[in-house]
Amino acid sequence: MSSYKQHFSICVHLFLFMLIFSSRAQDQPPLKTRGYLFRSVYTFGDSFVDPGNNNYIQAMSKSNFPPYGTDFVNQMSTGRFSNGRLFPDFLAYYLGTEKYQQPYLDPTLNLRESVTAVSFASATSGYDPITANLTKAIPMSEQLENFKQYKVKLQKKIGRKRAEDQIKKALFYVNAGSDDFALSYFGDGKGQTIRQKQYRLPDYEQFLLQLMAQFIQGLSDQGARKIAVTGLPPLGCIPVGITLLPTNLPNASPKRSCLDYVNSVSRDFNVLLQNQLKAMQSKLSKVGTKIGYIDFEQPLLDVIQNPKEYGFTQVNNGCCGSGLYEIGTLCNATSPVCADASEYVFWDAAHPTERTYFIIFTSNLGTINHIITG
């Protein structure tokens, strides 16, 4: 990294740091755009990144109704599982001045040259095909197929060469795996799941890592050259998990603090994931593909463990409903909503608030800058 870039990056960090600590969610100012970076962003994964693809299919998991989106543009309930914008929405704005990402399945999707942010993600999808199948979400393999279709349409519209160039410059952002553990492997904790019958946990992790590697290879084969892969959040801190999982185990706490035995699963998986990404990086640098690891775990743990430093008061229950178990249709227009979502780390019982996403985003800016430069 040149000293100029380093200096610039430090300035951006300081600037963002000041933004976070001088403002609350409601008056959150837009990020300063680095105009010369104009790039597209393509997103794949689950409900942490789906801006509403599930609205257009028979998926079981939806959120295109109030109070979801209450802090979004025009208070729109887009299908995002939060009160406002998601990580890749900030990414889209930071890299390309798009205000937010669009779902690929939206029939009004505008195929545009050079700067665009399209998400292929689907809430409750995962690397394991069973995960999407259980809830009628779009499997990762189909998300990749949809990207191929998109690429063909883009080539028709702007020409092959320009479409390829746009894809080469774009940032590919992947966030999946949480639902593989939450839905497919652990389930509701009552009785063994199909996957538990088939795999011991370490074997299931290897199975997921292989599927992840195949997916990244698939993106690279389609021309992706800058790929950011997100690790798991601290799964033991997700409010609904704290509510439902057995607390009579060692380390479980009656105070609704994070479940250490579940957090150790996500922590261990994230270490394996980073090793796998390093192996993929050395394989794919031949074709010029750059891969980075986005940390969803440490920033979220930091916020949960030091809420006051970030201006949060609620760390273990969502803003919507009782905050203990409401997700999707259980968080609806009849549910009570907290007075100030910006004091909550979680919006519903599984998904961060916009303000939390913003903090996670800014703490990963160094990695993002590293992936897109050079």
- What is the contact surface with ligand NAG in residues (CB under 6 A)? 129-130, 133, 321, 326, 329-330, 332, 334-335
CA nearest to 180, candidates 160, 158, 205, 161: 205
* Nearest to ligand NAG of 321, 352 (CB atom): 321
Q: Classify 56 in phi/psi space as left (phi over 0), alpha (psi -120 to 50) or beta.
A: alpha
Q: How far apart are CA 120 and CA 105, in angstroms?
A: 8
Q: How far is the CB of 333 from ligand NAG (least distance, A)?
A: 8
Distance CA 41, CA 98 (A): 10
User: Would you call 370 a catalytic residue per the annotation?
Assistant: no
* Separation CA 81–CA 152 (nearest Å): 30
Which amino acid is it at 209? L
Which H or E element spans position 160? Answer: helix 160-169
In the DSSP assignment, the letter for residue 343 is G
Give the number of other Cβ atoms within 10 Å of residue 302's Cβ.
15
Q: How far apart are CA 62 and CA 47, in angstroms?
A: 9
Give the nearest distance from C-beta 141 to ligand NAG in angstroms. Answer: 9
- Known catalytic residue at 348: yes
Q: How far is the CB of 6 from ligand NAG (least distance, A)?
A: 47
- Decide whether 64 or 373 has the Cβ nearer to ligand NAG: 64
Q: Which of 40, 47, 61, 342 is flagged as catalytic?
A: 47
Rounded to the nearest whole angstrom, what is the least distance from the CB of residue 36 to ligand NAG in the complex? 44
**Which residue's CB is nearer to ligand NAG, number 183 or number 301?**
183
Calculate the CA 47 to chain-centre distance: 7
Residue closer to ligand NAG (CB basis): 26 or 329? 329
| Among the listed residues 357, 349, 306, the one whose alpha carbon sits nearest the alpha carbon of residue 330 | 349
**For residues 57 and 72, what is the distance between their CA atoms, to the nearest angstrom?**
22
One-letter identity of residue 102: Q
The smaller minimum CB distance to ligand NAG, of residues 316 and 335, is found at 335
* Least distance between ligand NAG and beta carbon 43 (Å): 22
CB < 8 Å & 24+ apart, contacts of 263-266: 263/234, 263/235, 263/236, 263/237, 263/301, 264/236, 265/181, 265/201, 265/235, 265/236, 266/181, 266/231, 266/232, 266/233, 266/234, 266/235, 266/236, 266/297
Q: Which is nearer to ligand NAG, 236 or 321 (CB)?
A: 321
To ligand NAG, the closest distance from the beta carbon of 332 in angstroms equals: 4
Pick 198 or 253: Cβ nearer ligand NAG: 198
**CA pair distance 257, 239, nearest whole angstrom:** 9
Rounded to a whole number of angstroms, the minimum distance from the CB of residue 330 to ligand NAG is 5
* Residue 320 DSSP SS3: strand
Say whether 47 is catalytic. yes
Taking the complex as a whole, the smallest distance from the CB of residue 107 to ligand NAG amounts, in Å, to 26
Helix axes 3-22, 354-363, angle to 10 degrees: 160
Q: Which is nearer to ligand NAG, 129 or 307 (CB)?
A: 129
**Main-chain phi, psi angles of 139, to 5 degrees:** -60, 155
What residues act catalytically? 47, 348, 351
